[in-house]
Amino acid sequence: MKKYVIYILTGLRILVGWHFLYEGIAKLMAPGWSAKIYLMSSNWIFSDIFQWMSDSPGLIKTVDFLNTWGLILIGLSLFTGLLVRWSSIAGALLLVFYFAAYPPIPGHTFGAITEGNYIWVNKTLIELVMLLVFATLPVDFFFGADRLIRRWKEEKPHPPIAPVKNDRAFLQRREVLRDLISLPLLGAFAYAVYKKKRWDSYENKFLVEKADALSGATLKTFTFSSLGDLKGQIPKGKIGDLEISRLIMGGNLIGGWSHARDLIYTDKLVKTYHTDERVMMTMQLAEKCGINALITNPLLCRIINKYWHETGGKMQFISDGGNSRESIERSVEGGASAIYFHGGVADRTTNEGKYDEIIKNLELIRSYGKPAGIGAHRIETVKGCVERGIKPDYWVKTMHHHDYWSAMVDLERQTTVDKGFKDNVFDFTPQETIDFMNTLEEPWIGFKILAAGAIHPKEGVQYAFNNGADFICVGMYDFQVVEDCNIVLDSLANVNRTRPWRG
């Protein structure tokens, strides 16, 4: 074997050891770190086992301890070259569990840290194979403590003889230095960890705790809730024969309809953020919180079907495409569980007096065995349908107060469909909406309850449930899902409403 091969293999072993060692130390230094969320989010063939482990407080403490100290000890072993065969086997076994929890298969990477595009092969699998190679190679293939110990054991005692030359002693010292090659690198590792810790402390002190007194700008910091913070599962009600969570996901953000008022770039921004992977991760997270329904347009049937196919998810699709035969058939073909006449189209249709069109489409939706609903922004749309005896299976109506700064509607034009509409107010007459909707017996889904992000969820959710909404539809980014679910649970626990729950 060429001499340089030993150097290459030794360097490779040290690099893998560096990675393991730092991963373990980072977990040891991180306050409150736990593998609980990682295990809870696994969804491949061993997901039941991993989730069972995460549900046991005693077991999860053991897993955290073994994970942290296993990484540290395996890293030290690979770094120094001591007991490489055994640490390589242990490391490979650990990586098998990592790979089984989050294999790089489309639809099974939720919660995993990805640093590129993977199909079956990722760095976990590559390191696993490298460790198996280390476990099978002889000691002489690496410089390190194992080689040093083996040579020490193999040396036979011999009577002292005055050497003519000191070449043998010189060669022995050189071999010892080679076997101790990792010690300077271990020092470099310790220095790097020290500098990283100091930099983290510096950032925390000067970028988070301190405001910028010179410019007047204040750095905003955010704390995002994770599954471990979830207070419970979202309760459910019924629309027809469908069991629907009281909190329904809104699809506008996923589709790129941000309703961001004068900010003309945000539609592209949110659409760019919501890659297929991100959308599927968001829906998976929502399902783990008890949300089982999504309201969106049939244009998004592709990603919904991809989600069902690749993850086995059960998220129900409520389509707002009930305003034409084509969109109804597309919704049915796309797997919609319920369909309703789109609110904006219903406003325009009723304003033109074309109620027969609504009746015809409701009948078509029901012919497919789907609950049929009517959406509306204007309360006049709902009143007009009720006056003509049109009885949907459920209503989807905007609902929010006007106590936010951008709620400035031209009162003389607001009743004219489209002409007076501004992208900042979606329920023109809140109290009239509450008073009339509370007289109806059908379930009512309140949407735009946050006025497209102008009202804080704590306020908007309580307002909606207190004033009669049976279900609410809220658009959520992935980092908002758990927090919004907790707000809904708190609101339902303190609800004060006069309208009986419908559905």
User: Does residue 7 or residue 215 have the better pLDDT?
Assistant: 7
Q: Are residues 174 and 241 in the same domain?
A: no
Rounded distance between C-alpha atoms, residue 47 and residue 154, angstroms: 49
H or E segment and range at residue 52: helix 47-55
Domain boundary among 201, 226, 246: 201
CA atoms within 13 A on the CB side of 147: 22
- Residue 165: pLDDT band with limits 50, 70, 90: low
User: Does residue 313 or residue 373 have the better pLDDT?
Assistant: 373
Is residue 226 in some structural domain? Answer: no
Is the pLDDT at 451 greater than 70? The verdict is yes
State CA 59 to chain mean position distance.
25
Nearest partner of 315 among 347, 282, 343, judged by Cα? 282
Q: Domain containing 193: what range?
A: 3-201
* CA torsion, ordered 235, 239, 242, 248, to nearest 10 deg: -50
- Residue 55: pLDDT band with limits 50, 70, 90: confident
Is the pLDDT at 110 greater than 70? The verdict is no
pLDDT digits (tens, 9 = 90+) for 290-322: 999 999 999 999 999 988 987 788 999 999 999
* Burial of 181: CB neighbours in 10 Å, binned 0-12, 13-18, 19+: middle
User: For the residues 148-152, what does the mean pLDDT come to?
Assistant: 82
Exposed e or buried b per residue across 191-207, where buried means at least 16 C-beta atoms within 10 angstroms of its C-beta = eeeeeeeeeeeeeeeee
User: For the residues 235-256, what does the mean pLDDT come to?
Assistant: 93
Is the pLDDT at 381 greater than 70? The verdict is yes
Query: What is the residue whose two structure tokens read 């196919």?
Result: 309
Q: Helix, strand or coil for residue 249?
A: strand
Rounded distance between C-alpha atoms, residue 78 and residue 120, angstroms: 26
CA atoms within 13 A on the CB side of 449: 32
Is the pLDDT at 214 greater than 50? The verdict is no
Q: Are residues 35 and 135 in the same domain?
A: yes
Rounded distance between C-alpha atoms, residue 373 and residue 358, angstroms: 10
The predicted structure's pLDDT at residue 204 = 57
Q: Are residues 397 and 284 in the same domain?
A: yes
Q: Are residues 389 and 479 in the same domain?
A: yes
pLDDT digits (tens, 9 = 90+) for 469-485: 999 999 999 999 999 99
User: Does residue 366 or residue 166 have the better pLDDT?
Assistant: 366
Is the pLDDT at 159 greater than 70? The verdict is no
User: Does residue 32 or residue 17 have the better pLDDT?
Assistant: 17
User: For the residues 113-123, what does the mean pLDDT come to?
Assistant: 77
* Burial of 359: CB neighbours in 10 Å, binned 0-12, 13-18, 19+: middle
R_g (Cα) of the chain, nearest Å: 31
CATH of the domain at 345: 3.20.20.100
Is the pLDDT at 232 greater than 90? The verdict is yes
The predicted structure's pLDDT at residue 102 = 85
User: For the residues 257-284, what does the mean pLDDT come to?
Assistant: 88
Q: Are residues 195 and 241 in the same domain?
A: no
Q: Are residues 28 and 111 in the same domain?
A: yes
Query: What is the residue whose two structure tokens read 């597309």?
Result: 330
The predicted structure's pLDDT at residue 170 = 53
Is residue 156 in some structural domain? Answer: yes
User: For the residues 205-214, what does the mean pLDDT come to?
Assistant: 51
* The total number of structural domains that make up the chain: 2
Is residue 81 in some structural domain? Answer: yes
The predicted structure's pLDDT at residue 67 = 94
Rounded distance between C-alpha atoms, residue 180 and residue 348, angstroms: 80
Domain boundary among 150, 181, 201: 201
Nearest partner of 282 among 298, 302, 303, judged by Cα? 303
What are the beta bridge partners of residue 426?
none
The predicted structure's pLDDT at residue 324 = 95
Q: Are residues 175 and 265 in the same domain?
A: no
User: For the residues 95-116, what does the mean pLDDT come to?
Assistant: 78
Is the pLDDT at 152 greater than 90? The verdict is no
Is residue 218 in some structural domain? Answer: no
For the chain, what percent of residues have pLDDT higher than 70? Answer: 85
Is residue 207 in some structural domain? Answer: no
Domain boundary among 177, 201, 225: 201
For residue 40, give both structure tokens: 């809870």
The predicted structure's pLDDT at residue 375 = 97
Rounded distance between C-alpha atoms, residue 496 and residue 346, angstroms: 31
Is the pLDDT at 114 greater than 80? The verdict is no
Q: Are residues 178 and 303 in the same domain?
A: no
Rounded distance between C-alpha atoms, residue 110 and residue 114, angstroms: 10
Nearest partner of 294 among 320, 275, 271, judged by Cα? 320
What are the beta bridge partners of residue 248?
473
Q: Are residues 240 and 167 in the same domain?
A: no
Is residue 228 in some structural domain? Answer: no
Amino acid identity at 21 = L
* Counts for the chain of helices (H) and strands (E), in that order: 20, 10
User: For the residues 337-363, what does the mean pLDDT come to?
Assistant: 96
The predicted structure's pLDDT at residue 205 = 57
User: For the residues 144-166, what does the mean pLDDT come to?
Assistant: 69
Is residue 213 in some structural domain? Answer: no
Ranking 29-33, 84-88, 390-394 by mean pLDDT, the lowest is 29-33
Is the pLDDT at 209 greater than 60? The verdict is no
Average pLDDT, the chain: 86
Q: Where are the alpha helices (DSSP H) in 391-456?
A: 430-437
Q: Are residues 395 and 286 in the same domain?
A: yes
Rounded distance between C-alpha atoms, residue 78 and residue 140, angstroms: 15
Q: Are residues 160 and 257 in the same domain?
A: no
3-state helix, strand, coil in the chain (%, to 5): 55, 10, 40
Is residue 231 in some structural domain? Answer: no
> What's the whole-model pTM score?
0.72
Nearest partner of 503 among 231, 363, 308, 318, judged by Cα? 318
Distances in Å between the alpha carbon of 400 and those of 49, 265, 344, 403?
A: 44, 25, 17, 9
The predicted structure's pLDDT at residue 215 = 47
The predicted structure's pLDDT at residue 415 = 47
Contact call for residues 249 and 474 (beta carbons, < 8 A):
yes
The predicted structure's pLDDT at residue 241 = 93
Q: Are residues 307 and 259 in the same domain?
A: yes
For the chain, what percent of residues have pLDDT higher than 90? Answer: 57
Nearest partner of 185 among 15, 403, 383, judged by Cα? 15
CB contact set of 86 (below 8 Å; sequence gap of 6+): 77
